[in-house]
Amino acid sequence: MTTQLALLALFGALNSGRVSAAAPTNPADRKAALAVCVGALTAALVVFAWLSAPALDTLGVSEPDARIAAGIGLLVVAIHDMLVPGPLPEPGLAGSLAGLVPMTVPVGFTPAAAALAIAIGSESGVVGTVVVALPALVLIVAIALLPIPASWQRWIARSTAMLAAIVGVLVTLDGVRSI
Amino acid sequence: MLGWVLVFGVMAVAVHPEDCRAPSAAEIDRASGAAVGWLAANIEADGRILYRYDRDRGVDEGGYNEPRHAGVLWSLFQAERAGVPGAAGVADRGLSWALDRIQDTPIGPAFGEGARLLTGSSALLLAALDERRLLTADTQHDLLMIELGQTLEAAINDEGVLDASIHRDTGPLGDRSAFFPGEVLWALARLHITFPDEQFDEPALRLGRYIVEQRDEVERPWPPISDHWAAYAFETMDRWPDAPSIDSPMEAWIDRQLGLLGLQVRYESQRVGGITTLTRGPNALGAGVGTLGEGIGNWLELDSRTGLLGDDRDVLAERGACAVGLLVDRQARSDDPRIDGAWFRLGDTQMDDQQHALSALLLMRGHLPA
């Protein structure tokens, strides 16, 4: 998988419009929750990328097939995100812990993000995975902190989901065409 | 949580664990010997080989195919050269059957029965004769080899398109085949090494260009072909003293070929019986898995001289080892000489199952991952 495709895939999986829409509305809680969310997402990506090689070895799955699985996972999650409106800030944990629930789980760190962390981590390592995730993480913060109307956030979320669906197909084809 | 289960469920259906292992050289030698043993036990007095056998019913299902007969001869001479004893004797018996079926056509001699002679038959017979010549230094068939090469050259038009068959009385029939171009290219490529003054390089280059740039679009756009015969051919052309360089269309074509070979090995290795019979279907033919090993073995051989594959070499070697590992594990062992050493799919074996599997084992033996 090329760096560009990996970047687009994680950008689609960590859907910044949906994640920021799940942030608390209270400004103080919102900033704290954002910090927790970005930290938790990064930690989750690191753990899955770090475990990728032994996990694939144990499962008997090659890197190209891991890409096929991740691409299909991204496609499924993207279709869900296009059809189902993003979650409201409630129900979730209060205060900064909203950065964990619902922002990280279930909204941000989806099965697609987990599978992509494994697929990208097995090829590019932990650092490479975090680097290609950076644009998505930065955009989550930017969208949540800027005065963007809720309707725009929903539009960003759906557009990102549409992009993710296309990228999911491309990641799958990349796995199919690989040795 | 339900979402995670559903998404991972979909991914698990799409991707199964791959049951791959690299066999040892000793296992490959045993499997190669057993495959030659099957061919030796099932060649008839006139040099014909048991074509298709149903082990469940214990029935010879009949039929015959001249390109496959010639392909078996090539594999047997290859085996003898690789050190499998007794293979050349079996091949010589099969060769006499083929030589009795050389017929004159308006464009020269060709091998086959009946009025419609397949260019692939003559091409693979040429490869077998050339391999025999390398093994024995016997030059008695040189004139026939050159004439068969000239016949094949005459079946290629100015654009590099090959006629699949030649009518005994009227000449080339203008029909097409997906695999004969690779077989003919390989035969001509070999001839240019053996008889460098006969100018078989020009038609070979023309045909090779057609295979790389047009064949897949013109003759069979879908599904794409993983062409093990063309892999043999380009590996051979790379050994020409004036070997053609690999340009960007060729590089792109090789990339597609390697991707196809890798994908098919990965898919085949997911067929482990049980529930995978429902999701992946039954095991592929021994011939099918064999052609994957042949294709990969030839690209690895070419790479060992050129470094063409770069970082892809290790993963390709892993796929090739996986293919021959599957062959070793799936080979039948029995007291029945019609079963022992063969590869069966749904109870049937065909002589080319043994041919392609044998060649794959021999080719990959030198390229097993360390």
Cβ B180 vs Cβ B166: under 8 Å: no
Sorting pLDDT into bands at 50, 70 and 90, what band is A88?
A: low
The arithmetic mean of pLDDT across residues A137-156, rounded, is 91
Q: For residue B21, is pLDDT > 90?
A: yes
The arithmetic mean of pLDDT across residues A100-112, rounded, is 94
| pLDDT, greater one: B149 or B219 | B149
How many contacts does A have with B, using Cβ atoms within 8 A? 64
Q: Which residues of B touch A179 (CB under 8 A)?
A: 258-259, 261-262, 312, 315-316, 319
Residue A77 touches partner B, C-beta closer than 8 Å: yes
Of B7, B258, B319, the CB nearest to A73: B7
Contact between B7 and A65 using a beta-carbon 8 Å cutoff: no
Cβ A122 vs Cβ B315: under 8 Å: no
Cβ A120 vs Cβ A129: under 8 Å: yes
Contact between B262 and A178 using a beta-carbon 8 Å cutoff: yes
Q: Which residues of B touch A69 (CB under 8 A)?
A: 11-12, 14-15
Contact between A178 and B263 using a beta-carbon 8 Å cutoff: yes
Range in A30-44, B207-221, B274-288 with the lowest mean pLDDT: B207-221
Q: For residue B159, is pLDDT > 80?
A: yes
Closest chain B residue to A176, measured at CA:
B263
User: Could you give the angle at the alpha carbon of B198 between the alpha carbons of B197 and B204, nearest 5°?
Assistant: 115
Range in B156-170, B210-224, B347-361 with the lowest mean pLDDT: B210-224
Q: For residue A90, is pLDDT > 80?
A: no
User: Token pair for residue B9?
Assistant: 């469920």
> Is the preceding omega at residue B224 within 30 degrees of 0, hence cis?
no
User: Exposure of B52 by Cβ count < 10 A (0-12 exposed, 13-18 middle, 19+ buried)?
Assistant: middle
Mean pLDDT, chain B, whole residue set: 96
Q: For residue A85, is pLDDT > 80?
A: no
User: Exposure of B134 by Cβ count < 10 A (0-12 exposed, 13-18 middle, 19+ buried)?
Assistant: middle
In a domain, B44, yes or no: no
Percent of chain B with pLDDT over 90: 90
Residue A83 touches partner B, C-beta closer than 8 Å: no
Predicted local distance difference test score (pLDDT) of residue B300: 98
Sorting pLDDT into bands at 50, 70 and 90, what band is A87?
A: low
Residue B101 to chain A, least CA–CA distance (Å): 41
Q: B194-207: per-residue pLDDT in tens?
A: 999 999 999 999 99
In a domain, B289, yes or no: yes
The arithmetic mean of pLDDT across residues B317-335, rounded, is 98
The arithmetic mean of pLDDT across residues B212-225, rounded, is 84
* Residue type present at position B113: E
Give the number of domains in chain B.
Answer: 1
Choose, out of B6, B263, B311, the residue to mutate when testing the contact with A (most A CBs < 10 Å).
B263
Query: Residue A131: how many CA atoms within 13 Å on its side-chain side?
Result: 10
Residue B345 per-residue DSSP state: B
Of B17, B19, B262, the CB nearest to A64: B262
Range in A90-94, B46-50, B155-159, B358-362 with the lowest mean pLDDT: A90-94
Please, which contacts does B233-236 make with residues 24 or more away whose CB atoms are closer than 8 Å? Answer: B233/B182, B233/B185, B233/B186, B233/B189, B233/B204, B233/B208, B234/B189, B234/B208, B234/B298, B234/B302, B235/B298, B235/B299, B235/B301, B235/B302, B236/B186, B236/B189, B236/B190, B236/B193
In a domain, B341, yes or no: yes
Range in A172-176, B119-123, B214-218, B229-233 with the lowest mean pLDDT: B214-218
N- to C-terminal Cα separation, chain B: 43
Give the span between the Cα atoms of A31 and B40, in whole angstroms. Answer: 79
**CA B206, chain centre distance (Å):** 22
Residue of B164, B70, B156, B57 whose CA lies nearest to B111: B70
For the beta sheet containing B171-172, the strands, ordered from the edge strand earlier in sequence to the opposite edge, are: B116-118, B165-167, B171-172
Q: Give phi and psi for B281, each to the nearest 5.
A: 80, 180
* Residue type present at position B156: I
Residue with tokens 């759906």, as numbered in its chain: A158
> Is the preceding omega at residue A91 within 30 degrees of 0, hence cis?
yes
The arithmetic mean of pLDDT across residues B220-246, rounded, is 92
Q: For residue A117, is pLDDT > 90?
A: yes
Q: Which residues are CB-neighbours of B364 under 8 A, at least 6 positions away?
A: B28, B293, B296, B297, B300, B320, B321, B323, B324
Contact between B259 and A178 using a beta-carbon 8 Å cutoff: yes
Cβ A108 vs Cβ A19: under 8 Å: yes
The arithmetic mean of pLDDT across residues B251-268, rounded, is 96
Interface of B with A (CB under 8 A): 3-4, 6-8, 10-12, 14-15, 17-20, 256, 258-259, 261-263, 266, 312, 315-316, 319
Q: Which residues of B touch A68 (CB under 8 A)?
A: 14-15
Residue B328 to chain A, least CA–CA distance (Å): 19
What's the Cα-to-Cα distance from A58 to each of A61, A156, B17, rounded to whole Å? 8, 38, 9
In a domain, B309, yes or no: yes
In a domain, B134, yes or no: no
Q: A91-102: per-residue pLDDT in tens?
A: 788 889 999 999
Q: For residue A174, is pLDDT > 80?
A: yes
In a domain, B316, yes or no: yes
Predicted local distance difference test score (pLDDT) of residue B327: 98
Q: Name the residue range of residue B326's domain.
A: 257-365
Predicted local distance difference test score (pLDDT) of residue A89: 58
Q: Where are the domains of chain A?
A: 3-177
Closest chain B residue to A105, measured at CA:
B1
Predicted local distance difference test score (pLDDT) of residue B369: 84
Range in B270-274, B344-348, B353-357 with the lowest mean pLDDT: B270-274
Give the span between the Cα atoms of A53 and A85, in whole angstroms. Answer: 35
Give the span between the Cα atoms of B262 and A62, in whole angstroms. Answer: 11
Cβ B186 vs Cβ B229: under 8 Å: yes
Residue A118 touches partner B, C-beta closer than 8 Å: no
Residue B114 per-residue DSSP state: S
Predicted local distance difference test score (pLDDT) of residue A25: 87
Contact between B312 and A77 using a beta-carbon 8 Å cutoff: no
Q: For residue B220, is pLDDT > 80?
A: no
3-state secondary structure B221-257: CCCCCCCHHHHHHHHHHCCCCCCCCCCHHHHHHHHHH
